[in-house]
Chains A and B, each alone.
Chain A
């Protein structure tokens, strides 16, 4: 069979297949209302939940922390280790960090929306989506590792300063060491989790991008 013949066979095959699968305008209407199941749409949905959840926690936390000073709340965690003012500042800072993270997720979410609303050529679209995926994975590592480290530090602080009041002694060094090691280990763990989750997808996209770039190099 010659290559020119392929065009006529292709035409005939598509005439038959298209006729077989043709959908009505009503069906098109119905289909565009459905939920997208592409990897990027699923990530976007997960992000929306995190934006709201972390946003609300952040705002409520920032509002509640000064109220702790006014209201007489009993048995707060860290009571006996820190003063009420210190606890209030600590809660405020943690809530502000959570809120900042929700804004960072929102920023990436908006970038995904911009990408979805555009119609770039194949090469640009693949490059854009690879960059977005890297951004999503890095953000997840950053948030996961930092938040988990903060919790570990909190627990370590509570244990180390349980009996003796706060002082600039060896315990500070312990805390720094715990923070550094925890952050490193948690970053590695979160990177591995993200690789497991999206690594295969990114690899396929990179292969496609390389395929388009091989052509560039070949013709130069």
Chain B
């Protein structure tokens, strides 16, 4: 396939599935600037490795895999590594949320709980929240399904403690 056609195809598919990239950025980035940078880095890496995507895995699984790799290895010179996620100011100002204070509080609590996890746990919990099966989580992270179960149980215990102190 010609490079231009390949690029068109890639852009169309990524634009359609960009939600995956946004979710990764939201969970790993503290502020808007980091979020934008990470979003761009993930897109660049997705494009670089697009030729190696042969459809053996689902497109979304491949996107999670590449996106999480970049998020975990993302480290910019002179900038502190993003450590915790906050709701962006924009999100807090969304009218839908203003109408529903309890939802805003629940989202805040969700992110507060996620922020206590390390990078790997964040990846696993995000895939769990995305309703990925243990098989898919294993495929994305490279650990066996048994290990995913063990890790997931540990993360759930951790989250329960935070959510129900």
Contacts and interface: CB of A to CB of B under 8 A. Distances in A.
Contacts of A22: 18, 22
Nearest to B96: A16
Contact of B75 (A12, A23, A204): A204
A122 interface: yes
A6 B66 contact: no
Task: Sort chain A's interface into a size bin.
Answer: 35 or more
B5 interface: no
B115 to A, nearest CB: 14
Contacts of A32: 7, 10-11, 43-44, 46-47
Contacts of B37: 37
A34 B44 contact: yes
Contacts of A215: 143, 147, 150-151
Contact of A121 (B111, B119, B140): B140
Contacts of B110: 6, 9-10, 13
B142 A121 contact: yes
A9 to B, nearest CB: 5
A56 to B, nearest CB: 27
B77 A42 contact: yes
B114 to A, nearest CB: 9
A145 B100 CA distance: 63
Task: Sort chain B's interface into a size bin.
Answer: 35 or more
B133 interface: no
Contacts of A24: 15
B19 A117 contact: no
Contact of B11 (A12, A13, A25, A42): A25
A212 B143 contact: yes
A118 B56 CA distance: 13
Interface string B125-165: 00001110000000111111011011100001001100110
A210 to B, nearest CB: 9
Contacts of B69: 119-120, 122, 125-126
A131 interface: no
Interface of B: 7, 10-12, 14-15, 18-19, 22-23, 25-26, 35, 37, 39-41, 43-49, 51-53, 62, 65-66, 68-70, 72-77, 81, 88, 90-91, 94, 96-97, 103, 106-107, 109-111, 113, 118-121, 123, 129-131, 139-144, 146-147, 149-151, 156, 159-160, 163-164
Q: Which 4 A-B pairs have the closest CB atoms?
A: A123-B142, A121-B142, A10-B129, A211-B120
Given A10-B130, A16-B96, A17-B22, 8 more contacts: A12-B103, A25-B11, A31-B39, A32-B7, A116-B48, A122-B140, A122-B141, A123-B142
25 contacts: A1-B106, A16-B94, A18-B23, A20-B90, A20-B91, A20-B94, A21-B25, A23-B15, A29-B11, A31-B39, A32-B47, A34-B40, A36-B41, A38-B73, A38-B74, A39-B73, A117-B52, A119-B65, A120-B142, A122-B120, A122-B141, A123-B142, A126-B69, A129-B73, A218-B150
